[in-house]
Amino acid sequence: MPAAVDFDDFLEGVAMRRYSLAAVMALWALVALPSLVQAAVVVRMSMDDLVHNSSLIVRGKVTVSESFQDKERGRIFTRHTVTVLETLKGTKADTVTVVTLGGELPDIGQIVPGEAELKVGEEVVLCLENTAGGFSVVGMAQGKFVVDHSKTPCPLVRDTRGLLYVGEKGKSGSVSKLSGMNPGEVDSVLTIDTLRTLIHRDEGTR
């Protein structure tokens, strides 16, 4: 049986880290912009920043997804098993457990806008951080990529349409403001070879 998730640690260590002070201050705008309510307001992370803040980066296939509920708080989470095909950064393992916010049970479901969505059967590249109960995806949907084998070289496709950017975090950790609120999109950010180059460069600067 999988280890129980310590929800206080998980929520404090994952969800709270995902929102910067700037993002929290920007939430008031959603009152005046109801069409944007279904988006999570965040600071955009550069690829260098995603790589640097990940303790583990893997290419793998999602084999199992199981939602469960925290009975005390009523929150729903989903625990995913990912079979590792390649470890790009961090300690090698045959499988990793990834916990995401939200999920669907027979009689109830919860949607967390902007959270990474992992689907069984997908081949993905995940930027992960270690938390209580399993790994979480760095930067919400920013840290999850689908490997597109229909093209050569294979691009890594990212869907960030559930995110709304209010700033951009660079390699130095500083945050610059963007003009207005910028919605996420579906984009081919880079290839697996380009990602390997970024990881090697990051490891060389540590």
Residues linked to residue 65 through DSSP beta bridges, in sequence order: 80
Q: Which amino acid is at 100?
A: T
Q: Over the chain, what is the mean pLDDT?
A: 81
């960030």: which residue's tokens? 160
Q: Where are the alpha helices (DSSP H) in the chain?
A: 7-10, 21-26, 29-32, 47-52, 192-204
Higher pLDDT among residues 174 and 134, named by residue: 134
Does 33 have pLDDT greater than 90?
no
Does 124 have pLDDT greater than 60?
yes
Does 172 have pLDDT greater than 60?
no
Eight-state DSSP code of residue 113: T
Q: Do residues 190 and 156 touch, judged by C-beta distance below 8 A?
A: yes
Higher pLDDT among residues 133 and 123, named by residue: 123
